[in-house]
Chains A and B, each alone.
Chain A
Amino acid sequence: MLPFVLNRVAQGAVILVLVSFVAFGISVAAPGNAMQTFIDPNVPPEQLRAAEARLGLDQPFYVQYVRWVGEVARGNLGYSFRTGRPVAAFVGSRIGPTFLLMGTAFAVTLVLALWLGTATAARPYSALDYGVTGAAFAGISVPSFFTAMALIYVFALRLGWFPTSGLEDYAAGHTGIALFLDRLRHLVLPVTVLVLTGAAELVRHVRSAVLEELGQDYVRTARSKGVSERAVLRRHALRNSLLPVITLVGVALPRLLAGSVITETVFTWPGMGRLLVESVFARDYPVAMAINMLAAVLVLAGSLLADVLYAAVDPRVRYS
C-alpha cells in the first residue's frame, strides 16, 4: 500500500511543478502588467520604470519564476497589485465561503446521484429512468448562469422564499442558530445551481455502475438464496458499484470549482471564484495566479485522494 501511495505522491509532485510552470508562464507571457493597467498618464516614464523594478516586473521570466517559487515555498504568495494586501490573506479570506458552497453542493450531489442512480438502475427503461436521463441531458446543456437567473427570478423575486444574493444578511446581525438558518437560506439557490449542473454526469455513471453489478453472478446468488430485492440493491450492487464512483469524486471537484466561478458571480457570493473574476478584470496577476494554483492543488489532491481511496478499498489495484 505504502509504495503505491508514495508513487502517486511523486507523480503528483511532478505535475505540480508543471502546473506552476504553466500558471506562471501564462501570466508572464501576457502583455501588460499592473503598472500599465493603472497607469496615470502624468507619471513620468522613469518613475514608472523605478516602480516596475521595485515590483520585479523588469526581470526575465525565469528569474521571476524562481523568485516566485522561492516565495511561495515560504508561504508568501506576494501582494495584490490591486489592493496591496498580501495575496495569501486575501485569497484565504475567500476560501471559507467557497468551501461552504462547494462542500454543501458536493454532499447534496453525491446523495442525489447515489439515490437516483440506484433507483434508475433498479428499473431501467422505466418512466423514472427516462425522466432522470432527460433531466441529466438538460442539466449538462443549460448554462449555469441561466439556471441561476431563472432560479432567482422564480424563487427570490416572484415567490420571495430565498434571498437573491450574498452569504448572509449582515444588516440583521444574526448570531447563533439564527445566523445558521440565515446562511442556510442563502445557500439554497446557489447550491441548487451547482447540483443541477453537476449531478447529471454522476447520476449516469452511478446508474451504469449499478446496472453492471446487477448483472454479476454474486447478485444472482444473493437473489437465489432469497435476499430481498432491496437488500440486493443496497447491500450488494450499490456497495460494489461505489468503487468506480470513487474515481468520479476526483472528477467532480474541478467541475464544482469551475461552476463556482459563475455561481459566485451571479449570487455575489464572497468566495474564490468571484475573486478570480474580479482579479482577472483588474489584471491582478498575483491573485489570479494564486487562485489558479490553489484550484490546481485542490484538484491534484482530490485525484490523489480518490486514487488512494480506491486502492485502499480495492486490493486488486495495488498490485497491477
Chain B
Amino acid sequence: MTTAAAVPSVTAGPGPRAWRRFRRHRLAVTGAAVLALMALAAVLAPWLAPHDPYDLAVGPSGEIAFAAPPSLAFPLGTDSVGRDVLSRLLYGGRVSLTIGLVAALVAISVGSLLGVVAGYYGRGVDRVVSRFADAVSTFPALFLILTVSSFVAPSIVNVIVIIGFLSWMPSFRLMRAEVLKLRETDFVEAATAVGAGDVRVMSRHLVPNALGPIVVQATLGVAEAVLTESALSFLGLGVQPPIASWGNMLADARSITVLQSQPWLWLPPGVAIFLAVLSINFLGDGLRDALNPRAGR
C-alpha cells in the first residue's frame, strides 16, 4: 500500500525504545546471555564434546570406566554403560532446546492462525473454534500429551508435533483477544475501506500489531515446552535412548542407588533444564516489560 509512506516517521521507533527498556531489565539480559551460551554449546556440541556421546568413552591412557565419578578424563563422570556424561549433556541440550523451540513455534503458529481467523470472522467460526479450544484445555495438558504419546512412535519429530499441537490454546486465546480489540480500530476500518481483502487485513494489519504479546507468549511457551519434553522423556515416552535428552538422562537416575551414590548422573541434566527454563522465563519477563509497558506486574 502506498499510504504506508505517508505515515510520518517518529524519531525513536518502538524498536529502539523497547530495546532500551529491555536492557534495563538486568535479569532478562542475564537470561538472554545464559541462553545464548547454552545455544552456542548445543550448536558446537560436536566440537566441544570430549567423547562420543553414544559410545563407550575411552580415557587418555586407554581406561574405560563405568559409572565413574568426575575426573580429569571425564569432567562429569560416566554413566552405567561407560558413556561420558558431559558429552551426553551437550548433545542432550541440542535435542531438548530444539524440541522446546520448534514445539513452541508450532503451538504459536497454530494458535495464532486459529486466533486471527476466529477473532476476525467472529460469529459461528469463533464459537466453534473457541468451544473446541475450551474442550481441549479442559484436560490437564500433560494428561492428553501422555495419552497421545502412547499411540505414536516416540521420536523427536513426534514429540515436537504432540507438544506443539496440544499447547496452542493460550496463544489462540491471546491472539483472538488482540484481534477482537484491533478489529474495531480506525486503521483496520481504513484498510477495509481502501479495499484490502480479508487475508491482507489479517496478515498486514492484525497480526503485526498483535506481535508484542505473542512474542512474550512464545517465549514462555518455549519454557513450557522444554519442561514438557523433559517430563515426557523422564517418564520414558519422549526422546528414546540412546539419543540423549536432558529429560531421559534423568530417567536413568530413577534408581535409589544412582540417586544416592552417583549424583553426577542426575544433577547436571536437572540443573541444565532448570537454568535453561529459568533463563527463558527471565527473558520472557523482560520482553513483557519491554514490549508491553502498560501491563502491570
A pairs with B: yes
Q: Is the CB of A142 within 8 A of B134?
A: no
Closest chain A residue to B153 by CB distance? A31
Min C-beta distance of B154 to chain A, whole Å:
11
Chain B residues with CB under 8 A of A292: 139, 143-144, 147
- The answer for the CA separation of A91 and B143 in the assembled complex, in Å, is 15
Q: Is the CB of B135 within 8 A of A15?
A: yes
- The answer for the CA separation of A280 and B150 in the assembled complex, in Å, is 6
Is the C-beta of A152 less than 8 angstroms from some C-beta in chain B? Answer: yes
Given contacts A31-B151, A295-B143, contact A149 B231 (CB under 8 A): no
Q: Is the CB of B274 within 8 A of A142?
A: yes
Residues facing B in A22-46 (CB within 8 A) are: 22-23, 26-27, 29-32
- The answer for the CA separation of A2 and B281 in the assembled complex, in Å, is 42
Closest chain A residue to B220 by CB distance? A140
Q: Is the CB of A280 within 8 A of B147?
A: yes
Residue from B134, B150, B254, B270 in contact with A283 in the complex, judged by beta carbons closer than 8 Å: B150
Is the C-beta of B124 less than 8 angstroms from some C-beta in chain A? Answer: no
Residues facing B in A20-74 (CB within 8 A) are: 21-23, 26-27, 29-32
- The answer for the CA separation of A283 and B172 in the assembled complex, in Å, is 31
- The answer for the CA separation of A269 and B143 in the assembled complex, in Å, is 17
Is the C-beta of B256 less than 8 angstroms from some C-beta in chain A? Answer: yes
Q: Is the CB of A153 within 8 A of B274?
A: no
- Interface SS of chain B: helix
Chain A residues with CB under 8 A of B139: 19, 22-23, 254, 292, 295-296, 299
Chain A residues with CB under 8 A of B285: 137
Residues facing A in B121-154 (CB within 8 A) are: 131-132, 134-136, 138-144, 146-152
Q: Is the CB of A21 within 8 A of B135?
A: yes
Q: Is the CB of B136 within 8 A of A22?
A: yes
Given contacts A18-B134, A277-B235, contact A295 B140 (CB under 8 A): yes
Q: Is the CB of A143 within 8 A of B230?
A: yes
Given contacts A258-B141, A276-B143, contact A32 B231 (CB under 8 A): no
Chain A residues with CB under 8 A of B266: 146, 149
Q: Is the CB of B281 within 8 A of A140?
A: yes
Residue from A31, A266, A291 in contact with B143 in the complex, judged by beta carbons closer than 8 Å: A291
Closest chain A residue to B256 by CB distance? A164
Q: Is the CB of A143 within 8 A of B138?
A: no
Q: Is the CB of B131 within 8 A of A14?
A: yes
Residue from B135, B142, B150 in contact with A22 in the complex, judged by beta carbons closer than 8 Å: B135
Map CB proximity to A onto B222-250 as digits: 1 under 8 Å, 0 otherwise: 01000100110011110000000001001
A selection of 28 A-B contacts at a CB cut-off of 8 Å is A15-B134, A18-B135, A19-B139, A22-B136, A22-B139, A27-B147, A29-B151, A30-B148, A30-B152, A137-B282, A140-B223, A141-B223, A143-B270, A157-B259, A164-B256, A257-B143, A258-B143, A261-B142, A261-B231, A262-B235, A280-B147, A280-B150, A281-B150, A281-B236, A291-B143, A292-B139, A292-B147, A295-B143
